[in-house]
Structure 1
Amino acid sequence: MTEPSVEQPAIVLVSEERGEFLRDEFGRYARDYDVRVAASVAEAEEIAGRVRQEGRQVALFVTESRVADGPIMPALHRLRVAVPTARRLVAAHWDHFLEDAESMRPGMVTGKYDAYLLMPRGARDEEFHTAVCELLSDWGSTVARPEVVTAEVVSEPGNPLAGAIREFLERMGMPTAAYTPESEVGRAAVEEWREVQGGEPSFPLLRTIRVGLVAPGSVREVAAAIYGRPDSIDPEGANTVVDLCIVGAGPAGLAAAVYGASEGLSTVAIEAEAIGGQAGTSSMIRNYLGFPRGVSGMRLAQRARNQALRFGTRFFTGWSVEGLTPGADGAPHVVHTEGGDVHARAVVLATGVSYRKLGVEPLEALVGRGVHYGSAMSVAREMEGGDVVVVGGGNSAGQAALHLARFARSVTIVVRREGLEATMSAYLVKEISYHHRVQVRPCTEVVGGGGADRLEWLRLRDSRDGSEDEVPATGLFLLLGAEPHCGWLPDAVVRDEHGFVLTGRDVPTDAWTDGVPPPDLCTTVPGVFAVGDVRSGSMKRVAAATGEGASVVPLVHAHLS
Structure 2
Amino acid sequence: MTLPDTFQSRTAQALPTIAPAELKRMERFGVRAAFDDGAMLFEAGRSKFGLMVVVHGRIRISRYDGLGNSSLVTEHGAGEFAGEMSQLSDAPTLVNGHAVGRVEVLVLTTVALRALLVAEAELGERIVRAFILRRVELMESAACGPVLLSPNNNSQMHALRGWLASNGQPHKVLDPQATEQARALCARHNPQANDWPLVVFPDGSVQKNPTIVELGRRLGTLPALDSDQVWDVIVVGAGPAGLATAVYAASEGLSVLALETRAYGGQAAASARIENYLGFPTGISGRALAGRAYVQSKKFGVEMAIPAPAGRLLCDVRPLEVEMCGSLQRLRARSVVVACGARYRRPALANLSRFEGKGVYYWASPLEAGLCADAEVILVGGGNSAGQAAVYLSAHAARVHMLIRRDSLVDTMSTYLIERIAATPNIVLHTQSEIVELDGNDDEGLTRVKVRDRQQDAEHDYAINRVFLFIGADPNTGWLDDCGVAVDDNGFILTGHDALARHDHNNDQSGDRSHERGRDRPVASLETSVPGVFAIGDVRADSTKRVAAAVGEGAAVVSQIHGFLARLQEKS
Normalising to structure 1: TM-score of the pair? 0.70
SS at match of 1:157: coil
- Counterparts of 1:381-392 in structure 2, within 5 Å, are 381-392=370-381
Residue in 2 that maps onto 1:418: 407
- Counterparts of 1:236-275 in structure 2, within 5 Å, are 239-275=228-264
- Counterparts of 1:477-492 in structure 2, within 5 Å, are 477-489=468-480, 490-492=482-484
Residue in 1 that maps onto 2:550: 545
Residue in 2 that maps onto 1:157: 152
- Aligned CA distance change for structure 1 residues 482 and 210 (closer, same or farther; 3 Å): farther
Residue in 2 that maps onto 1:127: none
Deviation at 1:261, TM superposition (A): 0.6
Deviation at 1:290, TM superposition (A): 1.7
The letter for the 1-side match of 2:306 is T
The letter for the 2-side match of 1:337 is C
Residue in 1 that maps onto 2:492: 500
The letter for the 2-side match of 1:224 is R
Q: Indicate yes or no: 2:397 matched with 1:402.
A: no
Residue in 1 that maps onto 2:109: none
Q: Given the alignment, which residue of 305, 325, 346 partners 2:314?
A: 325
Residue in 2 that maps onto 1:169: 164
User: 1: distance between equivalents of 2:498 and 2:183?
Assistant: 57
Residue in 1 that maps onto 2:453: 462
SS at match of 2:331: strand
Residue in 2 that maps onto 1:337: 325
RMSD: 2.7
Residue in 1 that maps onto 2:177: 182
CA contact (8 A) 1:246 1:349 kept: yes
Deviation at 1:437, TM superposition (A): 1.0
User: 2: distance between equivalents of 1:553 and 1:287?
Assistant: 25
Deviation at 1:228, TM superposition (A): 5.2
User: 1: distance between equivalents of 2:310 and 2:500?
Assistant: 26
Q: Given the alignment, which residue of 304, 320, 327 partners 1:315?
A: 304
Deviation at 1:241, TM superposition (A): 0.6
Residue in 1 that maps onto 2:13: none
Residues 470-522 of structure 1 deviation map (CA, whole Å, 9 limit, x = unaligned): 12212100111011111110252011111111111322522674378722110
SS at match of 2:446: coil
CA contact (8 A) 1:241 1:332 kept: no
User: 2: distance between equivalents of 1:244 and 1:210?
Assistant: 35
SS at match of 1:456: strand
CA contact (8 A) 2:144 2:202 kept: no
Deviation at 1:362, TM superposition (A): 3.0
User: 1: distance between equivalents of 2:200 and 2:215?
Assistant: 10
User: 1: distance between equivalents of 2:171 and 2:449?
Assistant: 30
CA contact (8 A) 2:316 2:483 kept: no
User: 2: distance between equivalents of 1:483 and 1:357?
Assistant: 10
SS at match of 2:355: coil
User: 2: distance between equivalents of 1:295 and 1:560?
Assistant: 36
SS at match of 1:397: helix
- Aligned CA distance change for structure 1 residues 446 and 556 (closer, same or farther; 3 Å): same
Residue in 1 that maps onto 2:197: 204
Give the gaps of 5 or more residues in structure 1.
1-7, 9-26, 30-136
CA contact (8 A) 1:405 1:438 kept: yes
Residue in 1 that maps onto 2:290: 301
User: 2: distance between equivalents of 1:343 and 1:516?
Assistant: 23
Q: Indicate yes or no: 2:539 matched with 1:554.
A: no
Residues 320-362 of structure 1 deviation map (CA, whole Å, 9 limit, x = unaligned): 111011154x533344333532100000000001111122123
Deviation at 1:371, TM superposition (A): 1.1
Residue in 2 that maps onto 1:115: none
Deviation at 1:200, TM superposition (A): 3.9
Residue in 2 that maps onto 1:227: 220
Deviation at 1:552, TM superposition (A): 0.5
User: 2: distance between equivalents of 1:170 and 1:203?
Assistant: 19
- Counterparts of 1:102-141 in structure 2, within 5 Å, are none
The letter for the 1-side match of 2:330 is D
CA contact (8 A) 1:414 1:441 kept: yes
Deviation at 1:214, TM superposition (A): 2.7
The letter for the 1-side match of 2:321 is H
Deviation at 1:188, TM superposition (A): 1.7
Give the gaps of 5 or more residues in structure 2.
11-132, 505-515, 567-572
Q: Which moved more, 1:159-168 or 1:459-468?
A: 459-468
The letter for the 2-side match of 1:455 is L
Q: Indicate yes or no: 2:533 matched with 1:528.
A: yes
Deviation at 1:375, TM superposition (A): 2.2
**Identity of paired residues, percent?**
36
Number of equivalences? 418
The letter for the 2-side match of 1:367 is E
- Counterparts of 1:74-113 in structure 2, within 5 Å, are none
User: 2: distance between equivalents of 1:156 and 1:250?
Assistant: 33
- Aligned CA distance change for structure 1 residues 253 and 358 (closer, same or farther; 3 Å): same
Deviation at 1:224, TM superposition (A): 2.6
- Aligned CA distance change for structure 1 residues 171 and 211 (closer, same or farther; 3 Å): farther
- Aligned CA distance change for structure 1 residues 150 and 403 (closer, same or farther; 3 Å): farther
User: 1: distance between equivalents of 2:163 and 2:555?
Assistant: 26
User: 2: distance between equivalents of 1:147 and 1:180?
Assistant: 14
Q: Indicate yes or no: 2:468 matched with 1:473.
A: no
User: 1: distance between equivalents of 2:203 and 2:340?
Assistant: 28
User: 1: distance between equivalents of 2:359 and 2:519?
Assistant: 56
CA contact (8 A) 2:400 2:427 kept: yes
Deviation at 1:148, TM superposition (A): 4.9
SS at match of 1:188: helix
User: 2: distance between equivalents of 1:174 and 1:211?
Assistant: 17
CA contact (8 A) 1:444 1:461 kept: yes
Deviation at 1:190, TM superposition (A): 5.2
Residues 411-469 of structure 1 deviation map (CA, whole Å, 9 limit, x = unaligned): 01111111112111211111111001111111111101212322222111122343211
SS at match of 1:451: strand
Deviation at 1:221, TM superposition (A): 1.8
Residue in 2 that maps onto 1:430: 419
- Aligned CA distance change for structure 1 residues 226 and 157 (closer, same or farther; 3 Å): same
SS at match of 1:358: coil
CA contact (8 A) 2:221 2:307 kept: no
SS at match of 2:450: strand
The letter for the 1-side match of 2:551 is T
- Aligned CA distance change for structure 1 residues 559 and 387 (closer, same or farther; 3 Å): same
